[in-house]
Amino acid sequence: MNDLSRGLGMEREYSDERLMQGLADTNVSTTEFLERFSKNIATLLRDKPHIYRSFGMYWWHVKALLLERQNDPTAWWFNGTVDEWAMEMSDRGSEAKNIMQAIIYHRDNWTNSGQHDYVYDGVQRHYSLYDEQLGE
């Protein structure tokens, strides 16, 4: 496995320890955590679709979870695509860790913009988030 697929560039901001502590703090099983999050974020996104921008490049992990667990053909994200590059770039090796980093980013970096910065291999880079399903 190469550094890119393990998301090592992201570890400078979200250490494995921080992600694992976040998961432990939920006080539920991984399965229950993912099920609850997917249900709650689906409800929020139906009412406020632009919230997706606040997840930055981690949005694609959230969307993949929604596509897997919230089978709702009326939802704007349904039948959508994901940015495989962004998912690979930010992959932490488990669905639960990927979602936890999305939650932490959303909480710590609240913005309603599709423009985000991230650090990879010690270099600050820019990422423009655009989900074609929403058209913004």
User: Does residue 133 lie in a domain region?
Assistant: no
Of all residues in the chain, the percent with pLDDT exceeding 70 is 75
Residue pair 78/72 in contact by the 8 Å Cβ criterion: yes
- Into how many domains does the chain fold? 1
Task: Determine which of 27-31, 49-53, 62-66 has the lowest per-residue pLDDT on average.
Answer: 49-53
Q: What is the per-residue pLDDT for 51?
A: 87
Q: So what's the pLDDT on residue 61?
A: 95
Give me the pLDDT at residue 15, please. Answer: 85
Taking residues 39-48, what's their average pLDDT?
Answer: 94
Residue 71 lies in a domain: yes
Q: Give me the pLDDT at residue 2, please.
A: 35
For 15-48, letters b (16+ CB in 10 Å) and e give eeeebeebbeeeeeeeeebbeebbeebbeebeee
Domain for residue 50, yes or no? yes
Domain that holds residue 93: 3-128
pLDDT digits (tens, 9 = 90+) for 59-111: 999 999 999 998 788 888 887 788 898 888 888 899 999 999 999 988 877 66
